[in-house]
Amino acid sequence: MGSISFRSSRPDGWTLPRPHRDASSRYMTHGPIRPMEEPGFLQRLFGT
């Protein structure tokens, strides 16, 4: 079995690193960093 290769003049977007963005521009675009899991009712109520 032969492997099929694909060539393009433009590099793939997955292989190129993204340009650096400072924290303030990220904050302006996406807002504050939020936890993966939202706190539960009791945790919000008692702050533990």
Task: Find where tokens 């099929």 sit.
Answer: 4
Q: What is the pLDDT of residue 47?
A: 76
Q: What is the pLDDT of residue 33?
A: 87
Q: What is the pLDDT of residue 27?
A: 92
Local confidence pLDDT in tens for the 48 residues of the chain: 567 776 767 777 777 777 787 889 889 998 998 888 888 888 888 876
3-state secondary structure string across the chain: CCCCCCCCCCCCCCCCCCCCCCHHHHHHHHCCCCCCCCCCHHHHHHCC
Q: How far apart are CA 28 and CA 21, in angstroms?
A: 11
Q: What is the pLDDT of residue 42?
A: 85
Q: What is the pLDDT of residue 48?
A: 63
Q: What is the pLDDT of residue 2?
A: 61
